Structures are given as structure tokens and as C-alpha cells.
Amino acid sequence: MTILNWLRGLFILVMVAIVLYPVLWVVSLAFSGGQSLALVSVPEGASFFEALRALLPLPQQWSLANFEGLLTEQPFGRWLLNSLIIAAATTIVGVLLACSAAYALSRFRFPGRERGLMLLLVSQMFPATLMLIPLYVIIVEWLQLGNTWLGLIAVYSITALPFCVWMLKGYFDSLPVDIEEAALMEGASPVAIFWRIALPLAKPAIAVTALFSFLTAWNEFILASIFMDEEALYTVPVGLRFFVSDFSAQWGYFAAGSVLVSLPVVILFLGLQRFLVSGLSAGAVKG
């Protein structure tokens, strides 16, 4: 028993170390003030422990220069705000659409339901890079939504849909039907049941899908830079990519930006973590 517990502890420790190591490189690069990407130099004639020390992702000197450069050279704060607004709106729209569609797919029997479910999966199977031009045509030429947040929000919330609907449908399937039947008996309309009974009960799954929609919008780069024709409208990932050009890259700035960009996400994960476990899995399980 105790040996097993020891092994378990060791396993967890090793995994935490493996997970943290590259992350710490990002952090260390961000705070190093320099620009070189994860290169290790073991000093000559170093003892085992000195060598080990050199392998730890600690910058030689601590400096906020990368953060300063990042925030002063570009309107990074502005972009951060843009991203926040777009990601928040994407989350709201995406979750609303996903919830209502998933609820219908779970609770109502209607023609095309099963084929619809299959199509959701199919949509995940085609590489996104080839959809660039048609998306440009639809959003910019037909809908005239180029250079607006609305265009991006529409694309992001829809592209996040298949996964969200898939998740949520599984979760709704796992909720006991009789609670909704009770509400039905009491004269509540399907819409009222959806809003007042089903949605509050699906909170964990909604948290997961919200997170997923948020991440989709938060990290996307190529569409944002193609649709937007004003620097003031760019999102953070677009801003970050300025530090990577054809011949050279300012990895230090990039890492500092990544740290800033990851912070809200990590905070979101922290806040939602109690929902993550149940929200992700309960979907598949019947009570």
C-alpha cells in the first residue's frame, strides 16, 4: 500500500515537472529581457548540480524589458481589450446557439436530427486552411462584415459550435427528463423549460463550452488579421504575430505577450475548474 502511494506521488511529481518545464521556459524567456528561444548552455567543467542548475529555466537576469517593449511599442492594451470584447461576445453568442441546438438535439425528435449530428462531426474533419477564401467571400463580400467585430464574432462562434453542441448534447442527455416533465406539467413552455430548468442544470457543461468558445476567439490569428483593415481593430494574437517575421523573430516579446495572453485564460480555468471535470465527462454518462 505505502509503496503504491509512494509511486503515485512520484508519478504525479514527475508529470507536474514535465508539464511545468516548457511553461517555465516561456515565463523565463519573457522575464529574461532577451530574445533567444530555449537554448541551454551548460558551463564547461560544471559539476552535476551546476549543470542541473543550468538546465533549470531561470533567466540569467530578471528584467521587465520584454514587457515594457511589448506594451509600449504596440497598442497592446487596446488589442487586449478588443480580444476581450470579441471573445466575450463569441462566448455569449456561441453558448446561446450551442445550448439551444444541443437541447433540441437531445430532447426533441425531428427529421434530420441524426444526420445533423453526423454533420457536426463531419465539419470537424475538413482542414480549416482551405476554408479561408470562401469565408472571406462570405463575410467580407456578401455580408459586408469585413473590418467589423461582428464578422469575427460570427465566424468564431459558429466554428466553435460543433464541439460545443456535441458536449452539451451529451450533457443534456444525462440530465433526468422527469424534472423537465414536471415543469411541462406545470404549464411551462419549451422555451421556459429551456431557460429556467435545463440551462441552470447544465451549468458545468456550459462552463466548458464557454471556455472552449472563449479560447477559440482568444487564440485565433489568421482570420482576425485577414478580416480587419485597421490596426486599432486587431486582436491580441494578431499583435503577437508581429514579433515573428520572415527572417527573424523577437521570441522574448512573443513570450512576454504569451504570458499576458495566457493569464486571463489561466484565471478562467482556475475559476471554472470545479465545473471542468463534471462538465466534460458527464456528457457521455447516463445517470
Whole-Å CA distances, 87 to 2, 91, 161, 261: 47, 6, 14, 12
Which of 71/131 has CB closer to another protein?
131
3-state secondary structure 51-101: HHHHHCCCCCCCCCHHHHHHHHHCCHHHHHHHHHHHHHHHHHHHHHHHHHH
Helices 251-281/2-32 angle, 10° precision: 140
Q: How far is the CB of 71 from another protein (least distance, A)?
A: 14
Q: How far is the CB of 204 from another protein (least distance, A)?
A: 9
Q: How far is the CB of 182 from another protein (least distance, A)?
A: 4
- Eight-class DSSP state of 220: -
Q: How far is the CB of 266 from another protein (least distance, A)?
A: 5
Cα(81)–Cα(6) distance, rounded to whole angstroms? Answer: 47
Which of 57/64 has CB closer to another protein?
57
Q: How far is the CB of 113 from another protein (least distance, A)?
A: 8
Q: How far is the CB of 152 from another protein (least distance, A)?
A: 9
Cα(145)–Cα(52) distance, rounded to whole angstroms? Answer: 54
Cα(73)–Cα(45) distance, rounded to whole angstroms? Answer: 41
Cα(110)–Cα(90) distance, rounded to whole angstroms? Answer: 28
Q: How far is the CB of 235 from another protein (least distance, A)?
A: 11
Which of 154/210 has CB closer to another protein?
154
Which of 64/263 has CB closer to another protein?
263
Whole-Å CA distances, 82 to 31, 42, 157, 279: 25, 43, 16, 28
Which of 55/64 has CB closer to another protein?
55
Cα(99)–Cα(84) distance, rounded to whole angstroms? Answer: 22
